[in-house]
Amino acid sequence: MKKVISLILIAMLCVTTGAFADEAVIGGADAATDILVAAPSVPASEDIAIKLIVDDKVVPTETVTVNFRTLVPLRALMESTGAEVEWINDTRSINVTRNGKLITLQIENSIMSTPDGDVALDAAPILHNGNTTYVPLRAVCEEFDFKVDWDEGTKTILVNAPDGCPYVDLYDGMTLAEVLEASGTTDEEFTAQTGMSYEEYKDKPYVLVENSFSLAKVASMNSMTTEEIKIMFGLEKSMADDTKWGEVLGSLTMKAYIENLTPAAMYGITAEQALESLKATYGLGDEYTLETKYRYVRTIMETKELEMAKELEEQQLLEEAKRAADLAALPELLKNTIKFTITMQDGSVMKGELYPDVAPATVENFVKLVNEKFYDGLIFHRIIDGFMLQGGGYDKDLNEKEAQSINGEFYSNGFTNALKHEKGILSMARTEDPNSASSQFFIMDEAAPHLDGQYAAFGKITDGLDVVEKLSKVETQTADNGMTDVPVKAVIIKSIRINK
């Protein structure tokens, strides 16, 4: 259950800013149990007591040891920083959202999907004891620009968020009653936590509840003195301790807002530079300076944010309509095919078809390499059961064979490609550079919707899916050069040929 008081508490000290694989990496409703995260460089021991501290606040949690790695709950960590954690049962995926940024992880997929591209993890998320998930902590934390340290002396994991506090617009525009219902907090719990009357505030906007706290109340809830808060925000020393927090916020200058209430520092910029960014983002005139009261600027910012949100919604609706139209037109594009055959060293065969009307440049490149017998003797160097088989770039000694790169033909790179990454689909591997695909391709072992629109799907195995399933089960290891998911026994491609 989320404690609404934590959101109210953080809202005291934060406001929304709004302004602010070596191999080709192919990408990658609440869970019934906590999601676990591998702690960074923490020695694993059955009897070790690990403590998790986030922004100087202890997060109650229990640690476990799995495969000599100490684990802590991801949900406890991320929700303590204002993030939301969601378990998607159908795809066995985990969504983590913070400050509007979404990252997605998937069981047994060593790729983490982010708005800036896919990130390779040093270990894929797996299920522990059949129903609990864990993933590498440092990779997740650093994706949100958290700083992660380990204190050996006190056996403590220290996590610090760059903005020092969670995003607070989660319940913006809702009444207190709606907030409590959404967070799973009862009116009795609210009253016990805040000392405030639920009946008095239940129908009022949530922001009025937070603004009703006094300066002294805010200080107490954040384990600070009123003097420390006054210094932190540059408030007048004469300000009374019983001043309502709404009045405190209203007294802040833009300088105090920028220096204390935004993550500007994480970008390594000055207050003056941050103000120029705000002006450009929200259309503020030169009359707005660092000494302008924040309350005068906020109304303009909120209006602009609503306009931007409406424009984004309209854009998303247009994109959804276009994709629906592209999907409806796809069957016609799949009629023109080029047949091919993959023969493995062990004699097994996979046959399929390429779709030049879907991804013309990708198909042309693949056919060219096939005709040059480029793939003969290369291997599937990366195999993840339940995900995909990746090959076409390395020999059995893991020596890379290079080829000319091509433009990525997929939605996020400005190309129309409605082909979904379903079982048997061929797609091009790439790095974070959308135009870095060359010779490496991957064959889907199972559907992976999070890859749709992110990679250039260009063909499909139509005969030999049993071979794909068999190969997906081979034993893998981390190679001496650091490559992960490498088959222990080389899976060699004898040849790939275009059927005449």
pLDDT, tens digit, 9 for 90 and up, residues 155-170: 677 777 665 433 233 3
Provide the token pair at 59.
């997060």
Number of domain units in the chain = 2
Q: Report if residue 110 sits inside a domain.
A: yes
DSSP state of 492: B
The region of weakest confidence among 14-28, 90-104, 166-180, 198-212 is 14-28
Average pLDDT rounded to a whole number, residues 197-216: 71
Sign of the CA dihedral 366, 370, 373, 376? positive
CATH number at residue 457: 2.40.100.10
Q: What is the pLDDT of residues 32-67, one digit of tens each?
A: 233 444 444 333 334 455 666 665 555 656 665 554
Give the residue-averaged pLDDT of 284-289.
84
Q: Is residue 266 situated within a structural domain?
A: no
Q: Which residue has the higher pLDDT, 5 or 337?
A: 337
Boundary-marking domain end, from 160, 178, 198: 160
- Whole-number pLDDT of residue 498: 97
Task: Say if residue 351's pLDDT is above 50.
Answer: yes
212 pLDDT band, cuts 50/70/90, is low
Last residue within a domain, chosen from 106, 131, 160: 160
Q: Which residue has the higher pLDDT, 173 or 254?
A: 254
pLDDT above 50: residue 5: no
The domain boundary residue, chosen from 160, 186, 218: 160
Task: Tell me the pLDDT band of 230, cut-offs 50, 70 and 90.
Answer: confident
More confident residue, 301 or 92: 92
| Residue 302 pLDDT | 67
- Res 488 pLDDT > 80: yes
In DSSP notation, 245-307 reads HHHHHHH-BHHHHHHHHSGGGGGT--HHHHHHHHHHHHT--TT--TTSBHHHHHHHHHHHHHH
Per-residue pLDDT tens over the stretch 245-278: 767 776 778 888 777 765 555 566 788 888 888 8
- Average pLDDT (338-357) is 97
Beta carbons of 437 and 406 less than 8 angstroms apart = yes
Residue 91 within a domain: yes
Q: What is the pLDDT of residue 462?
A: 97
Question: Rounded mean pLDDT of the chain?
Answer: 78
Q: How far apart are the first and last CA of the chain?
A: 63
Tell me whether residue 34 is in a domain. Answer: yes
**Alpha carbons within 13 A on the beta-carbon side of 265:** 12
pLDDT digits (tens, 9 = 90+) for 442-481: 999 999 999 999 999 999 999 999 999 999 999 999 999 8
- Within a domain: 114: yes
- Average pLDDT score over residue span 327-350: 96
Domain of residue 71: give its range.
Answer: 17-160
In this structure, what DSSP letter does residue 236 have? Answer: -
- Checking if the pLDDT of 357 tops 60, the result is yes
Cα 216 from Cα 385, distance rounded (Å): 56
In a domain, 185, yes or no: no
- pLDDT over threshold 80, residue 125: no
- Which value, in Å, is the radius of gyration of the alpha carbons in the chain? 27
Residue 76 lies in a domain: yes
pLDDT of the residue at 173: 57
The reply to whether 260 falls in a domain is: no
- CATH code for the domain in which residue 61 is found: 3.30.457.10
Greater pLDDT, 18 or 319:
319
Phi, psi angles (nearest 5°) of residue 381: -90, -10
User: CB neighbours of 166 closer than 8 A, spacing ≥ 6?
Assistant: 7, 10, 14, 81, 82, 83, 98
Distance (Å, whole) CA 143 – CA 488: 31
Q: Residue 424: pLDDT above 60?
A: yes
Q: What is the pLDDT of residue 262?
A: 59
